[in-house]
Amino acid sequence: MTDTYTDLLACEDLLLFAAAAISSTGQHEFHVDAEGQRLSLDFLHEYVHGTLPDLYALMLTLHVNDHNAARIVHTLLAHPRPGQDPDARDRENSLIRRRLALMPPQRVYRLFRALAAERVNNRRTRAVIRAWIARRPLELDALKYRDGLRAAVRHARVRLPGEVARFLFSSPAVRRSLPYTAPLLEAHRRAHYSARALYGLPFTVAEGFAAHHRVPRAVFLEGIAEHATAAERLRLDRTARRHGLDSPLADPGSAPLLRLCSHVLALPVAERRERRAELEPALERAARRTAGPLAGTWPRTAAVLDDSYSSIGSTARRNRPLALALACHHLLRVLSPQGTSHWVSGHTDPLTVRPQGPTRLAEPVLDALDTGPARVVVVSDGYDDTPPLLSDALLLWRRRVDPDRSVTMVHLSPVLDDSWSPRRLSPAVPTIGLHDPAVLPSLVELARFGEGRLGLSDLRAHLVATADTLLAADRRKGAA
């Protein structure tokens, strides 16, 4: 490694930003308020964009969460760099389009409305908006995201099909006067007059018409179930059961792993026990689908999972830290079938885990090391009750017991500390933010750069290689 001391500091700054951008959404957490997080993120975005502009866009390859991905895209579009290398600019444009395609449409429309409000109207911005809208189902977006689509097409001067344009820009009387050939738009027009027509609409749109026509909730849920998305069906599960219906969610294992874990934790412990035969296989199927081809490929891995009281999160993100820990438990069991899990509370039944007790990480970490793993993954907010004991124990272990680093350890934190980064367990252990367990393998790979043995040049090469690999895969998929 030939990096200078300045390069090493820049690498550390970039990893600090990556950790914050992966974990923090600017919302209130158990230990940190929303305003503090927003100020920290504002500073980090401005600092990295100002000092490492060539790497700022490459952060989009590191699975930063949607909140920070939108902020990165906004900054790149609002503050273009003059004299940028053409290859780097093409890569940056491709990364922007790729990330927007992966984000929820409502968040993208929120970004476009912000750009319109700030009058960011350069050619690059208009091209990005046009390219994204060209790949969208416009009839669906006209129903669900009418204001966002209207603002975006006006700002980027996008031409729309005649019926979509009429639906967006005509008065309500004109919008309902003539029939549409597009099935969704016609169903929406007819739903103003007929309760039967609402069952041809997306769930969120149909729900308003059901209230308008005073359709009983049980009747509505039974009729709309097949038109609801997997996430909506999961959210409706308990409501349907309260109304005496069979659950609209035919296969819980089809839901994303983290969403399913949040759903499980929202259930009373007694109900979880009653539905064990249904929930445990569903969690395993979701974990196997998340792991994909990596299932069974990891070496023996020990997981240390924080279920202390602080894992309850906040009113804005209820049970989010504990849901991430539960998701990592199931995912790691699939990645490393011979691995072990060690809950901070000593709990042995993951299905009935709940936030409780103090945060005493030292003992479960040492228990995990005693199992002889090749890798240790700690999922915790890092707010240990006795931080000096934990930090000193890990430093002693790294320096005296395992100086050759035969065992790798990484700390994944679901929250941002009030010091602009996730709270670290010890200087001996790299800390990376965690927002989605689906990207856990890539986060463990990224943690290598936090051990001080790899510098800025290595990190830059890793980011460029990752970007080129992702974009090449997208081109192959598009060609197919």
DSSP annotation string for 272-334: HHHTHHHHHHHHHHHHHHHHGGGTT-S-SEEEEE--SGGGGB-SSSBTHHHHHHHHHHHHHHH
**Residues, the chain:** 480
Q: Which two tokens stand for residue 392?
A: 């000193």
Decide which of 127 and 32 is more confident.
127
Structure tokens at 128: 């990005």
One-letter amino acid for residue 82 of the chain: P
**pLDDT of residue 6 exceeding 80:** no
User: Is the pLDDT reported for residue 453 higher than 80?
Assistant: no
Position 303 in a domain: yes
Asked which of 209-213, 383-387, 447-451 is least confident by mean pLDDT, the reply is 447-451
Which segments of 145-275 does DSSP mark as H helices, in order? 146-156, 162-169, 172-177, 183-191, 203-212, 217-224, 230-235, 237-242, 257-266, 269-274
Indicate the Cα dihedral angle 221, 226, 230, 231, nearest 10°.
Answer: -30
Residue 297 pLDDT exceeds 90: yes
Q: What is the pLDDT of residue 403?
A: 86
* Cα–Cα distances in angstroms (integers) from residue 430 to residues 298, 319, 454, in the given order: 19, 25, 12
For every residue of 97-131, DSSP letters joined together read HHHHHHS-HHHHHHHHHHHHHTT---HHHHHHHHH
Q: Pick the residue with more confidence: 418 or 79?
A: 79
Q: Residue 446's domain spans which residues?
A: 285-456
List, for residues 85-136, the tens digit of each pLDDT value: 888 888 899 999 999 999 999 999 999 999 999 999 899 999 999 999 999 9
Burial of 5 (0-12, 13-18, 19+ CB in 10 A): exposed
Domain count, the chain: 1
At residue 339 the predicted structure's pLDDT band, cuts being 50, 70 and 90, is very high
Q: How confident is the model at residue 427 (pLDDT cuts 50, 70, 90)?
A: confident
* C-beta of residue 409 within 8 angstroms of C-beta of residue 431: no
The pLDDT of residue 456 = 78
Alpha-carbon Rg for the chain, nearest whole angstrom, is 24
Task: With cut-offs at 50, 70 and 90, classify the pLDDT of residue 30.
Answer: low
CA distance 44 to 424: 18
How far apart (Å, rounded) are the C-alpha atoms in residues 380 and 414? 7
Question: Nearest 5°: phi and psi at 378?
Answer: -105, 120
List, in sequence order, the alpha helices (H) in 336-455.
Answer: 362-370, 387-396, 440-446
Q: Which of the 8 DSSP states describes residue 447?
A: G
The pTM for the full model equals 0.84
Model confidence at 203, pLDDT cuts 50, 70, 90, reads confident
DSSP string, 363-424: HHHHHHHHT--SEEEEES----SSHHHHHHHHHHIIIII-TT--SEEEEEESS--TTSSPPP
C-beta atoms surrounding 256 within 10 Å: 18
Q: Which residues 6+ apart lie within 8 Å of 435 measured at CB?
A: 22, 23, 25, 63, 65, 324, 414
Domain assignment of residue 307, yes or no = yes
As beta bridge partners, residue 410 has 377
174-188, 268-282, 433-447: least confident range: 433-447
For residue 311, what pLDDT is reported?
86
Q: Check pLDDT > 60 for residue 253.
A: yes
Token output for 348: 């042995």
Measured between alpha carbons, how far is 260 from 231 in angstroms, rounded to an integer?
9
Structure-model confidence comparison of residues 356 and 237, the more confident one: 356
Give the CATH number of the domain where residue 444 resides: 3.40.50
Query: Among the listed ranges 154-163, 401-410, 457-466, which one has the minimum average pLDDT value?
Result: 457-466
Across 63-72, 216-225, 259-268, least confident range: 216-225
Instruction: Return d(Cα 43, Cα 420) in angstroms, integer.
Output: 9
pLDDT computed for residue 452 by the predictor:
59
Mean pLDDT of the region 444-448:
77
**Please, what is the end-to-end C-alpha distance for the chain in angstroms?**
40
- In this predicted structure, the answer to whether residue 248 has a pLDDT above a threshold of 60 is no
Residue 408 lies in a domain: yes
What whole-number distance in Å separates Cα of residue 103 and Cα of residue 310?
29
Residue that wins the pLDDT comparison between 48 and 27: 48
Are 124 and 80 contacting, i.e. CB atoms less than 8 angstroms apart?
yes
Check whether 246 has a pLDDT greater than 60.
Answer: no
* 250: confidence class by pLDDT, cuts 50, 70, 90: low
Query: Is 157 part of a structural domain of the chain?
Result: no
Average pLDDT over residues 28-36: 68
Whether residue 346 lies inside any domain: the answer is yes
What is the model's pLDDT at position 71?
94
In a domain, 325, yes or no: yes
- Which residue in 292, 441, 308 sits closest to 381, CA to CA? 308
Q: Strand, coil or helix: what is 207? A: helix
pLDDT score of 374: 93
Q: Return mean pLDDT, the chain.
A: 85
Comparison of pLDDT for 240 and 14, the residue scoring more = 14
Look up residue 322 and give its two tokens: 């504990």
Give the per-residue pLDDT at 474: 78
Q: What is residue 1's predicted lDDT score, i.e. its pLDDT?
A: 47
Is residue 29 domain-resident? no
For the chain, percent of residues with pLDDT exceeding 70: 90
What integer pLDDT is reported at residue 72 of this predicted model? 95
- CA dihedral (159, 163, 164, 167) positive or negative: positive
Please report whether residue 173 resides in a domain.
no
